[in-house]
Amino acid sequence: MNEFEESLLSRIEISGRRVLVTGGAGFIGSHLVDRVVEEADEIVVLDNLSTGRMENLTAASQKMGFRFVQGDLLDLRVIKKALNGCEIVFHLAANPEVRIGIEDPEVDFQQNLVATRNVLEAMRLSSTAKHLVFASTSTVYGEATVLPTPEGYGPMVPISLYGASKLGCEALVMAYCHMFDLTAVIYRFANIVGSRSRHGVIFDLIRKLRVDPTELELLGDGSQNKSYLLVDDCVDAFLHGLRHEGGRLEVFNVGSEDRVDVKRIAQVVIDAMELKNTRWRFTGGVDGRGWRGDVKEMQLDTTKIKALGWKPKHNSPEAITEAARSILDERH
């Protein structure tokens, strides 16, 4: 057994390592940074601040070993410089909004596929950065006929450019691992919600109700039924899977064990805002969807990562409620 094969059998620990987090000023990324900065010897956050915010890093930036680099993943030179000396890469930077691809297909191609290729290429050229943790999505499955959907489900037929680009990113990660002796953990996330989120159904509903509390527009027909996971549970899974994987490449579904529909989410938000007599207006959408490319039903089979000892602390309704309260407490 050679040195590389032996390293695959050992658990990945963050303690004492230099870590790079792309998209670390964003919603999920900043929560991950808050956790990793307590353990890593040094953490480098790379973000172009197009959607991320420095205020999300207020606490982490006060810690020893924290360093922020403002730069774009479309510039390979920026990544190579930020990556210098790092051993583990958490790659979260991406276009965060599925609907953008309808108006500008180039966004998903550039910010997801090209950016991920650049991260992988920088790792290939690095002498130290050989382990990747990649944030993927449930949308790679498309409209799965098996619910909950396991990691081995196929064929995958994404119905959005976002899902297609993320599936392409996964393929690149897998190929680089096998060709260039990298190791990787890929997480396919359900809908992640919580504080610092500035997109998604909860944020959108709150924004609309702040403008007009008497009427709430709901995209689609309200029957869209999906799994929601609190960001704290998401970060727990990020780190748990990393520490318990032992192969060249692992893929984990991460989500809650139930689903909620848009109507229930709307009621949770209305209750959290203590509103009365708010009228609902449904747009009808595309075949009941909120927009073209919106998956109507989604729930992931998380048996694989639960077998390693992780499970969500909150179900979907609890996650929605906690997220609504957190977002309402924040200033936007």
Could you give the residue numbers annotated as active site?
A: 162
Nearest of 258, 260, 254 to residue 303 by alpha carbon: 254
* Integer Cα distance of 269 and 168 in angstroms: 35
* Integer Cα distance of 4 and 8 in angstroms: 7
What's the chain's length in residues?
A: 332
- Count other C-beta atoms under 10 Å from residue 297's C-beta: 15
* Integer Cα distance of 260 and 258 in angstroms: 7
Q: Which two tokens stand for residue 42?
A: 């040094």
* Integer Cα distance of 155 and 45 in angstroms: 35
User: Which residues, including other chains, have CB under 8 Å from residue 37's CB and lie 6 or more apart?
Assistant: 43, 60, 63, 65, 66
Q: Decide: 104 and 260 in contact? Cβ < 8 Å.
A: no
